[in-house]
Each structure stands twice: as C-alpha cells, then as structure tokens.
C-alpha cells in the first residue's frame, strides 16, 4: 500500500482513572508536598467523594473548613458532622471525636489536618490529643492511619510515656513493626550515654567520629536548612544537618557523589554566613538509632546523657 494510502495510526486515549486510582494519586501528591493532580473524570457518588477529599487536602486549617460537596445522604451527614465538631467547646469534643464517622477518606484527612493544627497551636490538651490520635489510628485510609501512628509515637517519646507507647503499639497493624522498633530503640537511649555519629564539619568538610556530648552543647538540633537565611540557633545549641540524599555508608571516610555535592553547597552557605555546623551524610546511621523524622531536638543532661528527644510531630517548630 502506498504511504499516502496507509490508514492513520490509532490514537490511544488513556482511560480515565477510577476512584481508587484517583484517590491514590491525590494522597501520593499530598504526602510528598507536590501539586495535586488535575481533577479526574469521575461520575456519580465517587465524584462527590473525590471532591470532599480534595477539599480536605486544600482547606486552610487556620482560616476555614473544607466545603461540603454533598447535597444529601450519608456523605453529607458525615461531612457536616466533622464541620460541626470543629466548632464545639472543649468539654464536648471528646464525645464528638469518638462518635465521628470516618467512612470517607476526605473526612479522615480533614480531621487529621484540623487536629494537627490544633496540636501545633497548643489548643489540644493531652487527653484530647490522644483521643484524636486514637480515632485516626483505628479508621480511615492507610495514609492518615500512618500519620496518626507517627504523631502518637513522637509525642509518647517526647513525654517519655512508655505506657502510652504500649497503648499505641497495641492498636497498630502488623505492618508497623519497623516503625515501632525504631521508637523502642529511642526509648532505650533515654538516660544513657550519647550515641556516636560520623560527622563532617561545616564549612571545613573534615570528618570526625563524635558523640553528641562532644559537640560542646546541651541541645542538638537535627534539621535540613530551608531556602533563604540560615536559622538562628539559641546559645548552647549545636546544629547537625542531615543529608537529603543520605546514601553514604556510615563507615565511609570520604564524601562522594550526591553527599559530596550537597556538602560542598552547604559549606559555601555556612562560610558566607560565617556559621558552623556539622553535616551527617548517612541516613542509615540515623535509622539505626531510630531517628527517622526531622526536625529533631535532643537535650543532654549535665553528664552528657540523653535527657529528652523531641522528634517529628513533637519537635518545636524552631530550634
């Protein structure tokens, strides 16, 4: 057949994602802090469920509530139950949290984001914070259950409450074993000697094997720097910058590859700012200790032993 008479190639139009695929894509983008995917072509009740989930992912917890897309039915009742809950006085919140249905992923995500803001702003006493964590631990999608587990464990560690740790552990799924082991290791470090890490000086980029108490400070702040000016550290606080790539072996005595590039860029920033810090290029070294979520604030006692560990959700917003 002459080329001009050949049939045109078939145009393959990708199928519209189903509700579960669209929900997964939104959760993945939300978890990584990326822009949410475009609105999928969904119809019927699943389109409303997705709109409620998207509203939960995008509302400003300090300024309003997610819009309720449902006109009638159980979806509307559940969304309105959440919206009413947020306006209740503290004395009525416990019962409302326990009674709130979590059939919709959007409700669980909205509850997580609203409660997270309340905790960070200091508006949740310990008892209510734990009831909120427990409600999210036992219902809703895997992502919000994972968030609640991390939150509850970080706070149990910060408060050095082993009874709370055991309570949370009893409510977790079998797939949470590695997370629980990491926190168990951190509980074991409390009151004991400082662990040793292989660190590179900044801006000098010379490696040293140091215990935390050998840094000359009673407070150790673990956190990658953000763009812009470097954070101001209070007196008596040492700064350890964990690598974003983190793929250097903890036994290596020289920087190579991505950690080298990252270390050189950090050295230039600190040299310009006339600041000093330490660079930790091995993620494995942190994981072996159980230090999994940044920022982390470690406080030492006057003997150099670990007095407190505030990690992740329980860490202060600033050093």
Q: Are 172 and 151 in contact (CB under 8 A)?
A: no
Strand 237-242 vs strand 277-280: parallel, antiparallel, or unpaired?
parallel
Task: Give me the pLDDT at residue 2, please.
Answer: 40
pLDDT value of residue 238: 97
Q: Is 308 helix (H, G, I), strand (E, B) or coil?
A: strand
CATH placement of domain 196-314? 3.40.30
Structure-block tokens of residue 243: 């690598």
Give the pLDDT score at 4.
43
Q: Are strands 196-202 and 277-280 parallel, antiparallel or unpaired?
A: antiparallel
Helix H segments across the chain?
A: 19-32, 45-58, 73-85, 90-99, 105-120, 126-137, 142-158, 162-170, 177-189, 257-273, 283-289
For residues 241 and 277, what is the distance between their CA atoms, to the nearest angstrom? 7
End-to-end Cα distance, the chain: 74
Q: Which pLDDT does position 211 carry in this prediction?
A: 95
Q: 3-state class of 299 per DSSP?
A: strand
Q: What does pTM read for this prediction?
A: 0.90
Write down the pLDDT at residue 8: 43
* Domains of the chain, residue spans: 19-188, 196-314
| pLDDT score for 17 | 61
Residue 113: the pLDDT is 97
> What pLDDT, on the 0 to 100 scale, is given for residue 206?
94
User: What whole-number distance in Å separates Cα of residue 71 and Cα of residue 314?
Assistant: 38
Per-residue confidence (pLDDT) for residue 266, from 0 to 100? 96
pLDDT tens for the chain, 319 residues: list them. 444 444 444 433 344 568 899 999 999 999 999 999 999 989 888 999 999 999 999 999 888 999 999 999 999 999 999 999 999 999 999 999 999 999 999 999 999 999 999 999 999 999 999 999 999 999 999 999 999 999 999 999 999 999 999 999 998 877 788 899 999 999 999 999 999 999 999 999 999 999 999 999 999 999 999 888 898 999 999 999 999 888 888 888 899 999 999 999 999 999 999 999 999 999 888 888 999 899 999 999 999 999 999 999 999 988 8
């Amino acid at each position: 057949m002459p080329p001009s008479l050949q049939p045109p190639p078939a145009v393959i139009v990708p199928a519209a994602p189903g509700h579960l695929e669209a929900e997964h894509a939104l959760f993945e983008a939300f978890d990584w802090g990326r822009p949410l995917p475009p609105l999928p072509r969904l119809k019927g009740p699943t389109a409303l469920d997705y709109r409620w989930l998207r509203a939960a992912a995008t509302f400003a917890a300090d300024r309003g509530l997610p819009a309720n897309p449902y006109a009638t039915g159980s979806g509307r009742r559940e969304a309105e139950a959440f919206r009413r809950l947020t306006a209740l006085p503290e004395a009525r919140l416990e019962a409302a949290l326990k009674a709130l249905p979590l059939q919709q992923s959007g409700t669980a995500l909205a509850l997580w984001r609203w409660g997270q803001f309340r905790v960070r702003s200091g508006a949740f006493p310990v008892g209510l914070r734990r009831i909120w964590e427990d409600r999210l631990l036992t219902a809703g999608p895997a992502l919000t259950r994972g968030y609640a587990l991390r939150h509850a464990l970080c706070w149990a560690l910060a408060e050095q409450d082993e009874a709370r740790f055991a309570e949370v552990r009893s409510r977790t799924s079998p797939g949470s074993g590695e997370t629980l082991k990491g926190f168990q290791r951190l509980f074991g470090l409390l009151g004991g000697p400082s662990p040793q890490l292989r660190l590179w000086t900044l801006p000098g980029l010379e490696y040293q094997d140091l215990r935390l108490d050998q840094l000359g400070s009673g407070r150790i702040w673990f956190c990658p720097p953000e763009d812009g000016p470097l954070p101001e550290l209070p007196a008596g606080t040492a700064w350890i910058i964990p690598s974003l790539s983190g793929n250097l072996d903890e036994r290596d005595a020289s920087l190579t590859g991505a950690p080298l590039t990252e270390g050189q860029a950090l050295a230039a920033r600190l040299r310009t700012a006339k600041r000093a810090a330490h660079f930790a290029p091995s993620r494995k070294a942190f994981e072996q200790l159980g230090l999994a979520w940044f920022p982390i604030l470690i406080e030492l006692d006057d003997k150099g032993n670990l007095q407190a560990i505030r990690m992740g959700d329980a860490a202060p917003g600033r050093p």
